[in-house]
Amino acid sequence: MTPPDTSAKIRCDACPVMCYIAPGQTGACDRYANDAGRIVRTDPVVMLSHAIEQGGRLVPFAARDWGGDPLPGDTFVTGIGSGTTYPDYKPAPFIVSSVVEGADMVTVVTEAIFSYCGVKVKIDTDRFLGSEGAVVRVGGEAVGHVTTAEYGSQMLSLGGVHHLTGGSKSEGRVTCAALLALCNGEAVEMAIDGGSTVVVQAGCAPVVDGTPERRMRVGCGSATIGMFASQWRGLVDEVVVVDDHITGVVSEHQAGKVLGWEATGIRIKGHRSTPGRYFRVSEPGLGWGGTKLTDPLEILGPWEAKKGARPGLTLLMVSTTGEEYAYFVLDEALVPQPAPLPAALRETVGLIDENCEPSLCTVLFMGGAGGSLRAGVTKNPVRLTRSVQGGVTRLTSGGAETWVWPGGGITFMVDVTRLPKGAFGYVPTPALVAPLEFTLPRADYLAMGGHEGSIRDLAGVVAEGGEYPTAGRIEPWPQDAEASPRTPGVFRKVQEP
């Protein structure tokens, strides 16, 4: 038999790019390399266990020096580092049998290539980031848009097939790189058309126009009054909670009325909704309560003596996070004059701040696990879809729980902070690579047309490895401890995505 030529380039068939890789170098994805004339997987397969301490030991795969050391009984093989099913006619890299609480189970493990994928970003802040529908850019390229704001949070929808493959090559490359960084917990700076520049990193506070955000608002101006009106009663004559959405006025608000609050003759410049609730007191911005205001008195009209205004009347104006506040006293001309904030009111402002949650960026990877990757699980792909939708098959991503959308297909979301570090990869088609695990009873797996001949137990998986030589690593479950960092590769990357 002629030995392989270890000095020649060889072709990798692990994704549609089909790179020719020189010895000692990786393909364009940095995931596969030419090691002396054979394709190897550069990252280890990650297995999870509740029983092992953080930074678990290395387990060689398909290596002569592995002595069959016992693994923790709850070891779970993830799709991280496993390899893909491309070309998709072949079974998944690992189809692992196990016994869970006396039940025979099968877990099908793969790294899926996603052109139809993106991230949903929740940014806990009342700061104005951009108008709904505004384009979000990274490095000048469009990668997504601002979507519907939620209570106390701004929302971004990034990626998707149209940005990855439907635009220019540069747009696709930048989108892919941005999604990969976000999913792997790295910081990405984004510019929103007509709005702000924001740095997003999963599990961290956003940085808006260079300023780190600290608090998520406790509620809108009306809700803040509902929560704290009773604590202001007897300490101040009027309270205005400034908010971009609903500014509240305690003397007019139903909460104030129930508490017996007297009218103060205050006038608010804005669109009155219901008593004590005002819309559009200002354009959105980076000021008080997500408005453009730096001086809250701008939203006040002339005070009306015939409706209760009087010299000496006290006024507290505060934002929905308690970060901005000011105290005023009406003079003889019924003009508010600044005054020191009384200690008792300072405590109530502090209570607003205390009830605000920390500002945080949440990144959810969202993908459609359809197409031919299902053929790596079963000879009849639609049965896998129906099994996932019916709750028979449990879908996880890197061991993390997923949320599966109802309806057709296998469209799922996962919180990227629940996965071990470095769980996501890419191929320069461009597309993201994400780990998937399908777990179901063995009988149901065989009934759906699963690849029975490819089922192995855990010991067989560890001893024999996968299609491409690799190593394995045991890590603690991400829910139990912070995952250890990705092991550096030993190969040189020769092409950027």
Q: What is the DSSP letter of 417?
A: G
292 and 127 Cβ atoms separated by less than 8 Å: no
For 446, phi and psi rounded to 5 degrees? -65, -35
pLDDT of residue 490: 34
- Per-residue tokens: 339: 């005054």
53 and 44 Cβ atoms separated by less than 8 Å: no
Bridge-based pairing state of the strands 103-114 and 117-124: unpaired
Containing 153, the helix (H) or strand (E) segment is strand 153-159
Q: What residue type is 227 in one-letter code? A: M
State the Cα–Cα distance between residues 278 and 295, nearest whole angstrom: 17
Across the range 174-191, mean pLDDT stands at: 98
pLDDT of residue 482: 41
- Per-residue tokens: 196: 């702000």
- How do residues 38-71 score in pLDDT, each as one tens digit? 888 888 899 898 877 655 566 666 555 556 667 7
Across the range 153-168, mean pLDDT stands at: 95
- How do residues 193-218 score in pLDDT, each as one tens digit? 999 999 999 999 999 999 999 989 99
pLDDT of residue 497: 33
182 and 149 Cβ atoms separated by less than 8 Å: no
Q: pTM for this structure?
A: 0.87
Q: What is the mean pLDDT of the chain?
A: 89
